A and B are shown apart, each in its own frame.
Chain A
Amino acid sequence: MDKATNMSAEEWGDFTGQVAFEILMEIGTAESAAALTAAKVADRTVDAARVLDKLDDLGDAAKAADKLEDISDGTKLPKVPEELGPVLNKVDDMSPGSPGHKAWIQGGIDRGAAFKLTSPRIADNLWDAKRGAPTVFADELAQLKKAGYIEKDGHMVPKNNIKCG
């Protein structure tokens, strides 16, 4: 339990692999990268042995009655570092499939902007097993690919802008 109590936010992030989100809106130069969306606090492909160790810690912490903190409705939750939770973008209309969301991506496409990919391209981030459908992140990638973008060095970039030699 001590280990769990003393784990840094980074370690919790490593363990949970939770997604944080950020929007880095246009910076202003052609080389600037507009972030897509899903930025990982930690890579999900962390060492499995470390994850298993952390599961032991979590079990202790989750069960312990003395590791509770108040939440708004007066019930208690096991104490978790603030950094654990995803921090989503503050853009108002980013609901998936909404005109605002598609338009935001399209705006970057129209400018020929690069989109920084900050989530690992693994099945968990691309396919939503619960809905049996692509994730919102995958939808964004599909929109970019349809517009002629390709992935290069962790960014989605317009294929025509790739210079050889």
Chain B
Amino acid sequence: MIECNNLIEEMLNTERILVKSKKEKYSNSIDINDDDWLDIAKKQKNAFYNENRNIIELISKKLIENFPKYDAIQRNKIINTFSNLENLKSLVSSTNLNDKSSIDWFHEKILFFILNDLGDDTRDALLEIDELKKLSRKNNIDLKNIIKKYLAFANDKNKHGMGSVKSIFNDIISG
């Protein structure tokens, strides 16, 4: 197990690399009057991810392996740090697993959802969890059980006025 503060340092180091990478190539403003504005945004974001894929996947793996092993204070340190790392949190969401029908994939997605702590826009987080619900039903995965397992890890802070991760999870469990 990686000591919590060491993992925080690794997160910060990854963010430093991402900040430099973005400044060099991926911080251009997009002209939304352009017919291809959304495609340009998609390509830019994907290129940014692909260029840094190795370090993103590495820190993702470490987060998934270690976060559940920490105590409550350590977990909150990780969540709070993660929420301040703009680039990392916009890219680390996903799992290195490719099989979206596997139960392990759902475990990792829920853990990343907790880590992301609603991100910058609760509405995007709600979309993400809604898609997970649909995908779990399609693959006969009991998402409620997975959420129950990690419910204690979820932040109860209503960051944007539309509920907390914990309240979203409770709604799913009781729904």
Residue ranges of A at the interface with B (Cβ–Cβ < 8 Å): 15-19, 21, 38, 44-45, 48, 51-52, 55-56, 58-59, 62-63, 68, 71-73, 75-78, 80, 85-90, 94-97, 120-124, 126-131, 133-138, 141-142, 145, 150-151
Contacts and interface: CB of A to CB of B under 8 A. Distances in A.
A87 B76 contact: no
A123 B77 contact: no
Contacts of B159: 85-86
B160 A21 contact: yes
DSSP class of B's interface residues: helix, strand, loop or mixed?
helix
Interface in B88-138: 90-91, 93-94, 112, 116, 120-124, 126-128, 131
Given A16-B84, A86-B160, A96-B127, A127 B121 contact: no
20 contacts: A16-B84, A21-B160, A44-B27, A55-B15, A62-B81, A63-B4, A73-B156, A78-B76, A86-B120, A88-B162, A121-B29, A121-B31, A122-B30, A124-B45, A129-B91, A130-B93, A131-B127, A138-B41, A141-B32, A145-B32
A86 to B, nearest CB: 5
Interface of B: 4-5, 8-9, 12, 15-16, 19-20, 22-23, 26-33, 37-38, 40-42, 44-46, 48-49, 72-73, 75-77, 80-81, 83-86, 90-91, 93-94, 112, 116, 120-124, 126-128, 131, 155-157, 159-162
Contacts of B48: 123
A52 B41 contact: no
